[in-house]
Amino acid sequence: MGLFSDVGRKVEKTKQAFTDGERAEYVCVACEEPLDENYEYCPRCGEDSVEPAA
């Protein structure tokens, strides 16, 4: 699979978890994207500001 397919799948999984009432474990401080994994760089905006969700 390509990099973009992989990232797209992870973003969709995170979005589904967030909208199903589950809290995301991590969030990008720059764009506020909820994430289910700790990324070095945000898959949405590319910033290196992914931190644990409060």
For 33-50, the pLDDT digits (tens) are: 888 888 999 999 999 999
* pTM: predicted TM-score of the whole model, two decimal places: 0.56
Q: So where are the chain's domains?
A: 3-52
Whether 49 and 28 have beta carbons less than 8 Å apart is answered as: yes
pLDDT digits (tens, 9 = 90+) for 19-28: 666 677 899 9
Q: How far apart are CA 31 and CA 11, in angstroms?
A: 13
Whether 29 and 42 have beta carbons less than 8 Å apart is answered as: no
